[in-house]
Amino acid sequence: MSARHERAVAFTLNGRRVGATVATHETILEVLQREFGLFGARESCGQGLCGCCTLLVNGTAVSGCLYFAAFADGAELTTVEGLAKNGELHPIQRAFVEKSGFQCGFCTPGFILMTKELLSRHPQPTEDEIRHYLSGNLCRCAAYPDIIAAVKRAAELMRA
Amino acid sequence: MADTIVVPEAPVADADAGRALREVGRSMPRLESTAKVDGSVEYIHNLRLPGMLYGRIHRSSIAHGRIVRIDASAALACDGVHAVITADDVATIVPNPYYGPAFHDQPILALGKVRHVGEPVAVVLATDPHVAEEAADLVSVEYEPFDAVFDEVAAAAPGAPIIHDELKPAGMFTDLEHVAGRRGTNVALDARLRTGDIEKGFAQADQVFEHTFRTGKVIHATFEPMVSVAEPAGPGGLTIHTASQSPSFVRSEIARLLGWPENRVRVRTAFLGGGFGAKLYIKLEAMAAVCALLVRKPVRIALTMDEQFYTITKHGATVLIRTGVTNDGRITARQVETYWNGGAYADIGPRVTQKSGFTAAGPYDIEHVALDNYAVYTNDPPAGALRGFGISQLVWAYERQADIIARALGIDPLEFRRRNALRNGRKHATGTVVYGMEVEAVLDRLAEKMEWHRPFDRGSGTIRRGRGIAIGVKACVSPTTSTAAVHVYGDGSCAVHTSTVDMGQASDTTLAQIAAEVLGLPTPDVRIVHPDTDVTPYDMATLGSRSTFHMGNAVRRAAEDVRAQLLRIAAGALGVDMGDLECRDGAVLSRAGAKLTFREVMLARFAMQAGTIVGVGSYTPSYTKPDPRTGYSPNITPFWMLGGAGAEVEVDCETGRVTVTKLVNVADVGRAINPASVERQLCPACSICRAS
Ligand code: FES
Ligand code: FES
């Protein structure tokens, strides 16, 4: 590998202003893990296919495995670790627990963040909207029926 | 719709206490639920150690051939590359570097020749994973290619290219011993079963049906890709952190390779991001261990998703099935010849061949049976277990043929199965008398849920509809052992030490429920200590639907051991008879109303808040090794598992699109410890193909 190209970036991470020096070839996933010890967004396929690496950038879900860290400069990032407030799980997280929307759990943060984007745009989603939004998130354990039940429950909890 | 139904047993009381169960039999959320939704759950995937090097594998580009030369100079010249490890380096610490649970046939790194595309040839170690990746591409290997064979039937035929010079069974499984030393064959194991007189059975038949069914390979694609991190532990030790379904096996196999006692190898796991049979026995552990010992630093070897395709698959299989039937639909004889495509290394394939192979006649009562199963080496990546340990390949064959026969005889497919069902108290083809196998109950429930007796709309025009049912049987793997320990600490809190791996099947919760039941605790108060071979006792592996039964019984016994100790101490302290005491609500209660919390019991024993009480339990069901000539055994398995499925599908005859419009799963599960999680285990197979 030739000389390392680096740049300094500053962004908001789960509500906190932070900075980091990142290599230009590095993904945001690597930086979250190395610099901030956050492992909720995790790499599985590494190709933008599975959604395990999902995080929110300015409220929109992106695949962290394909998102260069350098692009994060100035952005507002949310990972699954940023959802709970004052030790209270976010309603979407509560819904996933209540409906057991997972088995091994590896895909779960991705589904939760995608659900967050979905519910911010469609507070009362139809079954079709749910399936459409979650189509980029795969679950190899195939917990799909429970995941969909969890999303519906989350919509209820958030309206309450 | 998709529906999973568990055939329930009558409510049961705890045999020893004659009281209703409080924790067992209740649906409850996983103990680790919060950690799985807030991102904090531990996977080995997340582990980074100080000073750790990243290993990246250079893989064979050809399917079969001799390694002429390996040139690592360009890789070594990369900034940040620490070392490039090849078989020569491995040999300096492991002179005989062949591993595997069934056969010692797989080299830690390719030695002399390669046997499949993607076989590990060298490992680049670097301080940065990107550097390791780039440098691994720069390793250059010259090969002399040999003819390769990929088809399991062709590979078993005379004249096929020979993949291994000699068969080397590992010795752990006694039913593989008879093939030791065989040369000039790709058939790693021939397992046969003979019952009755097959020719006589065919002579009794009015019609004989003969078909060949084939199934392809399938990849597990666990979402947490395989990962092992090894680190030297002091001068004479080694620690391996690994996403493995079988930590106890990893310890013994690594110790064997290194020539060390097992107590110098520590293997620990965390939650697994999926297993499905992919992370069984030994995968990256030996490679990571050797690298770490060679460079005296922690080494992480993690696969990418695509590298998993080179590592393990489900077996493709060719099944030749011949069935004799009378015109009224009784099966008189069944002969099945199955070729299992085991790939280049045996892994657990020969056991899959043997353990599922003897069920190849299906859950049917057939007097004359002849089964031949061949585990065949080919130049594909190795094959092993995937959700069902080889059963689904056979079910595909015998249930497809059941429909073909039923149609030819003009008998309803459900009725055909009913006429031939293997009933409790009858002998399975192995000679083992079956019990607890409710074929008829499963068929009844399938019929009911599929509304089988109602007229069915077969569609018209370009949209045609069809429906079908299938049943299958599996025997739990045997003989195996599980051991567990239950600890009560000075403050009265309780932890279960078990080497069962929770890979999403909710075993932590299930085992905690069992311990909680015995000790009279609420399940969430029981902590599960994750597999760590320095701490948690031996378990054969988390595989083959064995954990709830085997480890569940071991945990129950360990908890009973602890309970007996607590009651004895309390009896002394209270001056009452042990028989007057029980554990309930986190305390020891006497019939007269006296109460000692567990903490108070510990105080009574140790005179201060201190000490540990340990209970140990083991479980090894009995087993009779089958006769290698006939496959006969009066005790082949501790229990049978029976399942059924029904589907309605729609086919668009213009586009070929198939839509599953209804799918039903029925399983005879005995007593469900956690019914909701049992349903969640059975549902995936169903929901993966569920129509949108
Ligand atoms: S890891 Fe990013 S989409 Fe799969
Ligand atoms: S819960 Fe295992 S991948 Fe979704």
Q: Is the pLDDT of residue B35 over 70?
A: yes
| Contacts for B180-187: CB closer than 8 Å, 24+ residues apart | B186/B149, B186/B155, B186/B156, B186/B160, B186/B162, B186/B376, B186/B377, B186/B378, B187/B156, B187/B374, B187/B375, B187/B376, B187/B377
Query: What residues are paired with A68 via a beta bridge?
Result: A27
Q: Could you report the per-residue pLDDT of B170-220, keeping only the tens digit for each?
A: 877 777 778 888 999 999 999 999 999 999 999 999 999 999 999 999 999
3-state class (DSSP) for residue A1: coil
Chain A nearest-CA residue for B219? A140
Residue B447's identity, in one-letter code, is A
pLDDT at B389: 87
Helices (H), B500-597: 507-519, 547-574
Contact B274 A141 (CB under 8 A): yes
Hey, are the CB atoms on B43 and A40 less than 8 Å from each other? Answer: no
Q: How large is the average pLDDT for residues A112-140? A: 97
Confidence of residue B687 (pLDDT cuts 50, 70, 90): low
A8 shares its domain with A77: yes
CA distance B207 to chain A (A): 42
Per-residue pLDDT at B8 exceeds 80: no
CB contact under 8 A, A143 and B128: no
> Vertex B532, ends B176 and B674: CA angle to 5°?
85
How are beta strands B140-145 and B65-71 bridged, if at all?
A: antiparallel
- Taking residues B470-474, report their average pLDDT: 96
Identify the domain boundary among A82, A112, A130. A82
Query: Do residues B436 and B638 make contact, with C-beta atoms less than 8 angstroms apart?
Result: no
CA of B121 to the centre of ligand 1 (A): 27
Residue B13: per-residue pLDDT: 44
Predicted confidence at residue A132, as pLDDT, reads 96
Q: What average pLDDT score do residues B157-172 get?
A: 92
Q: Are residues A65 and A111 in the same domain?
A: no
Number of the ligand closest to the Cα of B273: 2
Indicate whether A66 and A127 sit together in one domain: no
Considering the domain architecture, whether residues A70 and A100 belong to the same structural domain is answered as no
Pocket test for ligand 2, best of A43, A104, A115, A147 (most atoms within 8 A of CB): A104
How close A81 comes to chain B (CA, Å)? 6
pLDDT band at B686 (very low <50, low <70, confident <90, very high): low
Ligand lying nearest the CA atom of residue B224: 2
Together in a domain, A71 and A21: yes
Verify that A40 and A71 share a domain, yes or no.
Answer: yes
Token pair of B315 as six digits = 């077996």
Total domain count, chain A:
2
Query: What CATH number corresponds to the domain at position A131?
Result: 1.10.150.120
B130:A25 CB<8 A: yes
Residue B34 C-alpha to ligand 2 middle, in angstroms? Answer: 15
Q: Specify the 3-state DSSP secondary structure of B469.
A: strand
Tokens of B658: 């198939």
The residue among A62, A82, A102 that closes a domain is A82
Task: Check if B27 contacts A (Cβ < 8 Å).
Answer: no
Percent of all residues in chain B with a pLDDT value above 70, rounded to a whole number: 96
Mean pLDDT of B505-522: 97
The two three-digit tokens of residue B33, written as one number: 């639920």
Q: pLDDT tens digits for B140-161?
A: 999 999 999 999 999 999 999 9
At residue B430, the 3 state secondary structure works out as coil
Task: Return the number of other C-beta atoms located less than 10 Å from residue B113's C-beta.
Answer: 18
Q: What is the DSSP string of B7-42?
A: EPPPP-B-TTT-SB-SSTT-----TTHHHHHHS---
Mean pLDDT calculated for residue range B37-42:
97
The total of other beta-carbon atoms located within 10 Å of residue A18's CB is: 14
A48 in Cβ contact with A66 (< 8 Å): yes
What is d(CA B485, CA B559) in angstroms, rounded to the nearest whole number? 8
| A54 and A119 both lie in a single domain | no
Cα B30 to middle of ligand 2, angstroms: 14
Q: What band does B690 get if pLDDT is binned at 50, 70 and 90?
A: very low
Distance in angstroms (rounded) separating the CA atoms of residues B463 and B35: 47
Mean predicted lDDT score pLDDT of chain B: 94
Residue B454 above 50 pLDDT?
Answer: yes
> How confident is the model at residue B685, as a pLDDT?
56
- Which atom of ligand 2 sits closest to the CA of residue A103? 1
Taking Cα atoms as reference points, which of B50, B58, B161, B158 lies closest to residue B110?
Answer: B58
* Contact list, A157 vs chain B (CB under 8 Å): none
Domains of chain B, with CATH numbers? 45-146+221-311 (3.90.1170.50), 148-217+313-420 (3.30.365.10), 480-619 (3.30.365.10)
User: Is residue B538 scored above 50 in pLDDT?
Assistant: yes
**Do the Cβ atoms of B556 and B548 come closer than 8 Å?**
no
Q: Could you give the percent of chain B with pLDDT greater than 90?
A: 89
Res B688: pLDDT: 45
Q: What is the pLDDT of residue B19?
A: 67
Ligand nearest to the CA of residue A48, numbered in listed order? 1
Beta-bridge mates of residue B81: B126
- The Cβ of residue A2 has, within 10 Å, a number of other Cβ atoms equal to 5
Atom of ligand 2 nearest to the CA of A142: 4
pLDDT in tens, B99-120: 999 999 999 999 999 999 999 9
Q: Which domain holds residue A118?
A: 91-159
Mean pLDDT of B678-689: 69
Which of A82, A101, A127 is the last residue before a domain boundary? A82
Among A62-71, B100-109, B678-687, where is mean pLDDT lowest? B678-687
Please count the other Cβ atoms lying within 10 Å of the Cβ belonging to residue A26: 18
Same domain? A23 vs A68: yes
Please give, rounded to a whole number of angstroms, the shortest distance from the CA of B457 to a CA of chain A: 27
* Nearest-10 Cα torsion for A102, A105, A106, A109: 80
Please tell me whether residues A103 and A141 are part of one structural domain.
yes
Q: What average pLDDT does the segment B348-363 reach?
A: 93
